[in-house]
Amino acid sequence: MWESETESVRGREYGNGVLSSNKHGVKTDGFELRGQSWYVATDIPSDLLVQVGDVNFHLHKYPMLSRSGKVNRLIYESNNHPDLNKIALEDLPGGPEAFELAAKFCYGIAVDLTAANISGLRCAAEYLEMTEDLDEGNLIFKTEAFLSYVVLSSWRDSILVLKSCEKLSPWAENLQIVRRCSESIAWKACANPKGIKWAYTGKPSKVSSPKWNDLKDSSPSRSQPVPPDWWFEDVSILRTDHFVRVITAIKVKGMRFELIGASIMHYAAKWLPGLIKDGQGQGPADDMSISTNSNSSGGTGSSSWKGGLHMIVSGTKDDTPSIQAKDQRMIIESLISIIPPQKDSVSCSFLLRLLRMANMLKVAPALVTELEKRVGMQFEQATLADLLIPSYNKSETMYDVDLVQRLLEHFLVQEQTESSSPSRPPFSDKHMYEGTQRSNNPNAKMRVARLVDSYLTEVSRDRNLSLTKFQVLAEALPESARTCDDGLYRAIDSYLKAHPTLSEHERKRLCRVMDCQKLSIDACMHAAQNERLPLRIVVQVLFSEQVKISNALANSTLKDPAETQYQPLIPNHKTLLEATPLSFQEGWAAAKKDINTLKFELESVKAKYLELQNDMENLQRQFEKMSKQKQTSAWTSGWKKLSKLTKMTAVENHDIVPQISTAAEQTRKTPRRWRNSIS
């Protein structure tokens, strides 16, 4: 017997779910099952055989004709046939279980209505045309009232009825059962958590999922506040198309897009086992042993709730991989179509993993393009592990480099659109505007540049990667996005290692994507002795390094010693670590000794250069002295020789003074003769 919940007041007024008919023409104590056939426990022999699937029902005409318009019409149409006592109902919704309950109702036997059998019984009543025209209070009226006043007022019953509608298409859809249950679930999911009085599953238990009766005492409680994601696990048991209906109804009710995105990620983690690598979230393989009709057993009819019921994507041993892949492709396409359009509604990592599976399962190209645009909106949040998507389109490269190129283009288009848009928020939603403002962060392009450099380093090891693809992806970002080209140099060096047969022209073309002036000191040290680089690039690296050293020395001399004492400069190594990706930092370990050796040699060269400069200055001074001596040596040397001769002959000249005087007189007379001769 169905037990109504505490929030269902009208359900308690509805006879506790016991359905019976006051009018019946055949007295019976019930039905008896003998093999694959049902018999009415009465002394009156049956005159009507109804075949539903593989089960036969031996009934009587009067109880069925008085309440079922379809049975009445079939018997009337078969009057001309000899076998008029047999009716086959092959397409009856709900199958033999629903017809058994409908037949019991026709005989006046009490029927226990539960959330598990009400949808099938309602569809069967519509199929059998059990309307009010034949009998007042017929089965259609009774089941419709139970749905409206009992099921839709209950949280768990709405979910269970919607779950039971999976095998009742299109009847459940045409009778608006799916729509009404979806809207009921949406209204309750959007309710204020402080006002929730009903039980919910919450996070799945690791051991076993609790029953509903146990949850009434444990969840929710006034001592523990209700979390905003309390409805995620309960809704995740639904089939994909019904889950889409619920999420669509929740969007209409105005729930926050962050919660809607979180519920979609929770659902994907449950039914797409390859989406989550860390093992969090229960996959469909864990729910394969759960039965869908666990609530249809007899007795009290207590429904056992588990973390997830059997779903078509779960698969069985008889399922082929193609069928399971088709079901998963349907799930991915459905989830892509309901992701909220606002940025940050789902994580970028989730979008990239969904994109990976979409390419693997060959989802519709239009949906893949839409998903790529969504990734471009949040591309700065991506990680290297999520970008390493294998190439599933029979490409020569190991990873799908073209896909990353398209994602980067979408990111640049989005950045350009947001930068050119007016500063006034285009949306009335506050959360959407905040998400848009976060995308205008100037550091977004720098993070994307580091991500692309790390990606190039990884994919460059693939020998099938062409130089053109590498160059196009490296040059896609503007020059302002990279403040340091160390990561790009690391990728170039890795590409040169994996492609040793490149010509000199191709190596120059490859290195042209790098700016040598943006390399750090350690990167310049490594590049100066890198034999794989072209000679022209090595010269440019050495020149840029010399310029950096000169600028650093000039800046250090201009600074006040007191300021440098209390305000030390930021170490270059720390700046390098902050500006370069992790993959490039790991690559320096192997070349650390060479870098230190090159630093020592550079210092030695500087010392020798200073010594040579001093020697040159000394030689210059000596040369200047020698040049001055050569200019005055002819006159000074003559006078010195004359003075020496004068001193040496001083004594001798003292003895022959008369002779000198005579000679002097002669010399005095001589000019007169010269003057006379001239005159």
The 10s digit of each residue's pLDDT in 282-307 is 333 333 333 333 333 333 333 333 33
Mean pLDDT to the nearest integer, 243-266: 94
Q: What is the pTM of this model?
A: 0.68
Cα separation, 580 vs 259, in Å, equals 35
Helix residue spans in 475-581 (DSSP H): 486-498, 504-511, 521-528, 535-558, 561-566, 572-579
Q: Compare 290 and 65 and report the one with higher pLDDT.
A: 65
At 192 the pLDDT is 82
Terminal alpha carbon distance of the chain: 170
Helix (H/G/I), strand (E/B), else coil: 35: coil
At 306 the pLDDT is 32
Q: Compare 515 and 454 and report the one with higher pLDDT.
A: 454
Token pair 């592990």 in the structure block, residue:
385
* Average pLDDT across the chain, whole number: 75
Q: Which amino acid is at 652?
A: E
Cα separation, 98 vs 53, in Å, equals 12
In the chain, % of residues over pLDDT 90: 35
Smallest CA-to-CA distance from 516 within 546, 496, 494 is with 546
Cα separation, 253 vs 244, in Å, equals 14
Q: In this predicted structure, which of 101-115, 272-286, 425-439, 440-454 has the lowest mean pLDDT?
A: 425-439
pLDDT tens per residue, range 343-393: 889 999 999 999 999 999 989 999 999 999 999 999 999 999 999 999 887
pLDDT band for position 223 (50/70/90)?
low
Q: Do 104 and 12 meet the contact criterion of CB atoms below 8 Å apart?
A: no
Q: How many helices (H) and strands (E) does the chain have?
A: 31, 7
At 43 the pLDDT is 73
Q: Compare 17 and 33 and report the one with higher pLDDT.
A: 33
In the chain, % of residues over pLDDT 70: 67
Q: In this predicted structure, which of 96-100, 233-237, 421-425, 593-597 has the lowest mean pLDDT?
A: 421-425
Of the ranges 123-137, 202-216, 319-333, the best mean pLDDT one: 123-137
At 26 the pLDDT is 58
Cα separation, 469 vs 530, in Å, equals 24
At 591 the pLDDT is 55
pLDDT at 191 over 90: no
Q: Between helices 572-579 and 521-528, what is the axis angle to 10°?
A: 90
Helix (H/G/I), strand (E/B), else coil: 292: coil
pLDDT at 555 over 60: yes
Question: At the top level of CATH, which class does the domain 30-153 belong to?
Answer: alpha beta
Q: Compare 543 and 400 and report the one with higher pLDDT.
A: 400
Helix (H/G/I), strand (E/B), else coil: 180: helix
Task: Give me the DSSP letters along 564-627.
Answer: HHHSPPPPHHHHHHHHS-HHHHHHTSTTHHHHHHHHHHHHHHHHHHHHHHHHHHHHHHHHHHHH
Cα separation, 313 vs 284, in Å, equals 7
At 664 the pLDDT is 42
